[in-house]
Chain A
Amino acid sequence: MSILEIKNVTSGYGEVQILWGMNISPEEGKLTCLVGGNGVGKTTLLRTIMGLNRTWQGSITFGGQDITHSPAYAKADLGLVLVPEGRQLFTDMTVQENLEIGATNQRAHGKYQQNLERVFALFPRLKERAVQKAGTLSGGEQQMVAVGRGIMADPRLLMIDELSLGLAPVLTLQLFETLRQLRKEGLTIVLVEQNVQMALAVGDYAYVIAEGKSEMEGPAHKLMNDSHVRETYLGL
Chain B
Amino acid sequence: MNPGGILTSLMDGLLIGVVYGIAAMGLTLIWGVMRVINLAHGAIISLGMFGVYLIFTNFGIHPYLALLLVALAGLLFGMLIYYITIARVINAPYLSTLLATFAINMIFIGLGTAVFTTTPRDAGFSLGNVSLGPVTLQGTRLVAALVTLLVTGGLYFFLYRTRPGKFVRAVANNRAAAELMGIPSARILALSFGIGTMLAAIAGGLIATFFSFNILSGDIYQQKSFIIGVLGGLGNPVGALLGGLILGALEGLLPLVMPNTWVPVIEFVLFIVILLVRPSGLLGGKSE
Contact = CB atoms under 8 A, between A and B. Distances in A.
A50 interface: yes
Interface stretch (A88-96, A195-203, A205-213): A88-96
A88 B177 contact: yes
Contacts of B166: 93, 97, 100-101
Contact of B178 (A71, A82, A101): A101
A93 B170 contact: yes
A104 to B, nearest CB: 4
Contact of B182 (A52, A84, A89, A104): A104
A101 B183 contact: yes
B95 interface: no
Interface string A33-44: 000000000000
Contacts of A88: 174, 176-177, 180
A73 B173 contact: no
Nearest to B185: A73
Interface residues of A, number: 28
A72 B179 contact: yes
B110 interface: no
Contact of B176 (A52, A91, A100): A52
Contacts, number: 71
B134 interface: no
B255 interface: no
Contact of A105 (B173, B174, B182): B182
A76 interface: yes
A93 B166 CA distance: 9
A76 B182 contact: yes
Contact of A76 (B169, B174, B180): B180
A97 B165 CA distance: 12
Report which residue of A74, A75, A84, A90 has the largest number of chain B beta carbons within 10 angstroms of its beta carbon.
A90
Interface size of B as a range: 10 to 19
B179 A102 contact: no
Contacts of A91: 173-174
Nearest to A98: B170
Given A52-B179, A73-B179, A100-B166, A90 B174 contact: yes
B4 interface: no
A81 B180 CA distance: 7
Interface in A96-145: 97, 100-102, 104-106
B181 interface: yes
Contact of A84 (B172, B180, B183, B185): B180
B5 interface: no
Given A91-B173, A93-B170, A104-B181, 16 more contacts: A51-B179, A52-B180, A72-B176, A73-B179, A73-B182, A76-B181, A76-B182, A84-B176, A90-B174, A92-B169, A92-B286, A101-B166, A101-B167, A101-B178, A102-B181, A104-B183
Interface of A: 50-52, 71-77, 81-82, 84, 88-93, 97, 100-102, 104-106, 149, 153
